[in-house]
Amino acid sequence: MGQLTSSHMEFVTAQARAWVEKLKCANCGNFLSYFPIHTTLKSQNICGRCPTPSETVIRNQLYELLSLQIQFPCRYAGQGCPANKFPAEIPQHELQCTFKELKCPTQDFTDCNTKVCYRNLITHCQVKHRDLFLEKGLFEFPLGWYHKHDGLLEHRNQLFIVRRKFRVEDNLFQISVTPSECGEDTVWLYRVHLTCGSAELGVKGNTKVGVTEIFLDSLVTQKGKASKISGKLFVMKSSNPKIVKDDIKALPLRNVFPSTKSDSTKGQMGFRGIKSESLGKMVQKRKDRLPFYASRK
């Protein structure tokens, strides 16, 4: 039996690719590489990316079995993704593919409706929304009146949406930090350090809890001649997935900025410059309990 030549192999490969190109979803036009695959009464095949049609459908288990060993191009091949994956690998790859197109993360608070390739997301925001970035995590807001700001933070090639609000009637400061991730279920921890005059306050939060609330009564009462509150946001990636649970108890309030006072005053200080009696007013609440989080410009 003769051996296959390289030209013959190329022909076979081209034929296989041409055959795979015909395996497309009748609804969305993507490859039939995302299970389950359903067949309608009209013999149309629907991929698992699409909602199951309301009409009677049958799961095409024979096709699924036969296609398990086929490598399909990524659905974002047209945007430049070179990957070829087996059906078992497709869902995770599509979730994390850096060639996928996303809506601009600022669309909730700007007029930008641009669709951007994920790998170019930070560059797009730096060019189009430079004024929204928190440089080195620094921010400030005035005392005495309502304040609301939606902005961006870049940290280790990751983009975060930072939403802040200050309610003057009860001195309540709210902040949420949301990663603009590409399908990765990553937990990010953050710390907020606030100062007003000589008074300081620190508190922890995380991207799973949602919104962190901090009552600033102690800062305001010790403001002296200060007319604004300055803050700095620190973001870090959690190395331990167990550190964050879907519960506010995952990040109890505690002193994250050790006191610089003498030992004789440590019993009276919960945070630097903040008396412990005011700590009872500091709470962290879940995102779904705060109407401001969904508010738009």
- pLDDT(152) > 90: yes
Instruction: Give residue 44's pLDDT band: very low, low, confident or very high (50, 70, 90).
Output: very high
- Read off the tokens for 16: 């296989």
The amino acid occupying position 114 is T
- Read off the tokens for 246: 């879907």
Return the beta strands (E) in 128-250 as ranges. 138-142, 147-155, 158-167, 172-179, 188-196, 199-206, 211-215, 228-237
Q: Identify the pLDDT of residue 264.
A: 35
Q: Which residues contact 22 (CB under 8 A, 6 or more apart)?
A: none
Distances (CA, A) of 70 to 31, 46, 185, 246: 11, 18, 28, 38
Q: Identify the pLDDT of residue 5.
A: 55
Q: Identify the pLDDT of residue 197.
A: 84
- pLDDT(151) > 80: yes
Q: Is the peptide bond before 36 cis (omega within 30 degrees of 0)?
A: yes
Across the chain, what does the average pLDDT equal?
78
Q: What is the pLDDT of residues 186-196, one digit of tens each?
A: 788 999 999 99
CB atoms within 10 A of CB 256: 16
Instruction: Give residue 278's pLDDT band: very low, low, confident or very high (50, 70, 90).
Output: very low
The amino acid occupying position 192 is V
- pLDDT(90) > 70: yes
102 vs 265, higher pLDDT: 102
Q: Identify the pLDDT of residue 180.
A: 83
pTM of the model: 0.66
Q: Identify the pLDDT of residue 247.
A: 33
- Domains of the chain are 21-94 (no CATH), 133-294 (2.60.210)
